C-alpha cells in the first residue's frame, strides 16, 4: 500500500475518533424529567432523591432484588426502575395493575 494512501486512512480515522469516543461517553443521563404520553417521567441517571423531589413519594416501593440491586417505585401511570440509587428505566403503565 502506498505511503500516501496509508497516511490518508490514518488521518481519516483520527478525525472520526473524537466523535466515536464522545458517543460512548454520552450515556444520556440527565437530572431533568423526560416526557411521555402520561406527561413527565424520570430519566436515566436521576437519583432516587431527585425522582422523589420531582414526582413525590411513590404509591408503592418494591424491594431491591439481585446483584446489582434492582428496585422499583410505582407511581400512578408509571413504574420507575433503579439500579442501586439511579434510574435505569421508566415505563408508562395502565392503572389497572396496582
Each residue's pLDDT, cut to its tens digit, for the chain (98 residues) gives 666 666 556 656 566 545 444 444 444 555 555 554 556 899 999 999 999 999 999 999 999 999 999 999 999 999 999 999 999 999 998 865 54
| Nearest-angstrom CA–CA distance, 94 and 38 | 10
CB 60 within 8 A of CB 49: no
On whether the pTM is more than 0.85, the answer is: no
- Going by C-alpha positions, the residue among 48, 32, 29, 33 that lies closest to residue 92 is 33
Question: Chain centroid to CA 49: how far?
Answer: 16
Amino acid at each position: 500500500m502506498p505511503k500516501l494512501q496509508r497516511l490518508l486512512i490514518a488521518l481519516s480515522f483520527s478525525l472520526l475518533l473524537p466523535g466515536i469516543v464522545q458517543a460512548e461517553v454520552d450515556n444520556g443521563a440527565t437530572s431533568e424529567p423526560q416526557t411521555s404520553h402520561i406527561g413527565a417521567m424520570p430519566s436515566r441517571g436521576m437519583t432516587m432523591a431527585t425522582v422523589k423531589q420531582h414526582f413525590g413519594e411513590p404509591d408503592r416501593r418494591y424491594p431491591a432484588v439481585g446483584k446489582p440491586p434492582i428496585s422499583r417505585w410505582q407511581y400512578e401511570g408509571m413504574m420507575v426502575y433503579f439500579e442501586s440509587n439511579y434510574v435505569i428505566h421508566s415505563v408508562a403503565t395502565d392503572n389497572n395493575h396496582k
